[in-house]
Amino acid sequence: MAPFGGLVARRYVREGQSVNKGDRLFWVTAEGPLRVRFTLPEKFLGRLKKGLQLPITSPDLPAANHSAKIVELSPVIDPSSGTIKCWVRLSARPATFGQA
């Protein structure tokens, strides 16, 4: 049992595998708040600002809509890709977008 709460995000060993002292076994991460970094085309730069709420969905769970708040925006456009980096904090509860 770990001395902190969290979820196993990645397992580096299989059941029955021999391990040595200092081997990486698991990656444990906090349940929340989840902070996500992604890139967007530079055309969105003028429309984004810190504190703005964004709807976030996943192709794996298309019915689960979440709200994310921009916590940081890179002021630099990557010249090789024409994108900007954006960091958001996801809310813990799913949101419903486009519904009255």
Please tell me the class of the 7-94 domain.
Answer: mainly beta
Residues in the chain: 100
**Segments making up each domain of the chain, as ranges:** 7-94
- Peptide linkage before 94 cis (omega within 30 of 0): no
How does 73-85 read in b/e, with b if 16+ C-beta sit within 10 Å?
A: beeeeeeeeebbe
**pLDDT tens readout for residues 4-43:** 778 888 999 999 999 999 999 988 887 777 888 989 999 9
- For residue 6, CA distances in Å to 22, 27, 79, 94 come to 21, 10, 38, 20
Q: Name the more confident of 93 and 11.
A: 11
CB 40 within 8 A of CB 84: yes
Residue 18 carries which side chain, given as an amino acid letter?
Answer: S
pTM over 0.85: no
